[in-house]
Amino acid sequence: MFSSPAGGASEEDKSVKFTGWAAVPGGDGVLQKWSYHPRPLSADEVEIEITHCGICGSDIHFMTEGWSSITRPAIPGHEIVGTVVKRGKDATHQIGDRVGVGCLVSCCRGSSVCNWCRKGEDQFCENKTVTFNSPFKDGRGGISKGGFADRIRVYSDYAFKIPKEISSAEAASFFCAGITTYTPLKRYKAGPNTRLGVIGIGGLGHIALQWAAAMGCQEIVAISGRDNKKDEAFKLGATKFINTSDKEQIKEAAKSIDLCLCTNGSSNSNWEEYLSMMAPLSQLVLLAIPEEPITFVGSHLVSRDVAIVGSHLGSKGDIEEMLEFAAKQGIRPWIEKRPFDDINEACKDVHAGKPRYRIILEMDPSVSTATPTSS
């Protein structure tokens, strides 16, 4: 166990300690139990007792420093679900509310509001704090710590009430995988005139197929390098399957996709092949960040007005809308539950691409609670 706080001078609530699974100094990709004093609960914050947290590819990139080096100790986890156990006097939630927290925990606070918050696109806020290892810019100091833990304190506008139709374990993955796939479908108006492609049938892709089916897309093409998820892709809503290891199938699909979500973060993807399938005036939307630069020649883009764009999460409004849509349409992530204590094994499985389709860590209800301290 490590006792030093994770950087960033801030006021601490010495009356309580939260315990999480952290990337610690010298720990490489292995998480170890680590406790910290949270920031004092402010008037507009809630304290959440965490019951579930999904494991996302980003957590693995982070822990293994695939994207950049990190400040340790750091607690990952950003598909968080739990119960409100404490509230500040101005918080919008009540004790006992079941809420979820995703990739962001703060945006502009107080009177100065950035352009993006004003536009309702807080995911681009100039003063945002992401859920873990990110400095708070609210004047109170400290660095955010994520959901692989027993508790978390967040501003109540970043804790979203979970519709009663959705179980806590199933709700978790909406807060990253769900919103990441929902927003671009909304932004690019996926619907009855859209021939949609989804590259990669995993944690993100399996939800994207379900959104697309509920939105009534004209054609839903699951695109994968292997046939092993073909049957499940059809169950999830696909109307067509392309195995990219079969060059004939790619040729037959030339210029046939109007909007394509790429969930594949592998650097050795064949971008030329993906682009060859894009129709005129189409968008290829990157949802995962490859660790290496991607390369392609420009002819597909120029000859057919094809755009390669990215998409980053969604706004608070998008998250609320998505949860309602999922509840109404019966869309649920396909999950495998594991106890929090198996976190390192579970992370290894995610790293190896084994889950079908999302691993959700589940807290043993008999052991979870924050530890009061006398120090």
Q: Which of these ranges, 92-100, 119-127, 314-322, 341-349, lies near Zn ion under the rule CB under 5 A?
A: 119-127
Q: Determine which residue in the list 125, 172, 204, 242 makes contact with Zn ion, applying CB under 5 A.
A: 125
Q: How far is the CB of 29 from Zn ion (least distance, A)?
A: 17
Q: Which residue, 168 or 315, is less far from Zn ion as judged by CB?
A: 315
Q: Which of these ranges, 7-15, 24-32, 55-63, 91-99, lies near Zn ion under the rule CB under 5 A?
A: 55-63
Strand, helix or coil at 250? helix
Q: Which of these ranges, 52-60, 163-171, 210-218, 356-364, lies near Zn ion under the rule CB under 5 A?
A: 52-60
Q: Does 114 bind Zn ion (CB under 5 A)?
A: yes
Write out the two tokens for 210: 């379900």
**Residue 73 DSSP class:** S
Amino acid (1-letter code) at residue 362: E
Question: Binding-site residue total for Zn ion (CB under 5 A)?
Answer: 8
Other CB atoms within a 10 A radius of the CB of residue 90 amount to 10
Which residues, 6 or more positions from 360, have their beta carbon under 8 angstroms from its beta carbon? 52, 53, 54, 55, 79, 169, 172, 173, 335, 336, 337, 338
Q: Determine which residue in the list 22, 48, 56, 185 makes contact with Zn ion, applying CB under 5 A.
A: 56
Question: Helix, strand, coil: what percent of the chain each, to 5?
Answer: 25, 25, 45
Q: How far is the CB of 170 from Zn ion (least distance, A)?
A: 16
Per-residue interface string for the shown chain with Zn ion, residues 137-176, x marking contact by CB under 5 A: ---------------------------------------x
Q: Which of these ranges, 120-128, 216-224, 239-247, 267-275, lies near Zn ion under the rule CB under 5 A?
A: 120-128
Q: How far is CA 92 from CA 45, 152, 247, 346, in A?
A: 9, 16, 54, 34
Q: Does 117 bind Zn ion (CB under 5 A)?
A: yes
Q: Which residue, 58 or 133, is less far from Zn ion as judged by CB?
A: 58
Q: How far is the CB of 118 from Zn ion (least distance, A)?
A: 8
Pairing relationship of beta strands 307-310 and 31-36 according to DSSP bridges: unpaired
Q: Determine which residue in the list 24, 74, 108, 346 makes contact with Zn ion, applying CB under 5 A.
A: 108
* Under 8 Å between Cβ of 156 and 146: no
Sheet holding 371-372, edge to edge: 31-36, 16-23, 371-372
Binding site residues, Zn ion, CB under 5 A: 56, 58, 107-108, 114, 117, 125, 176
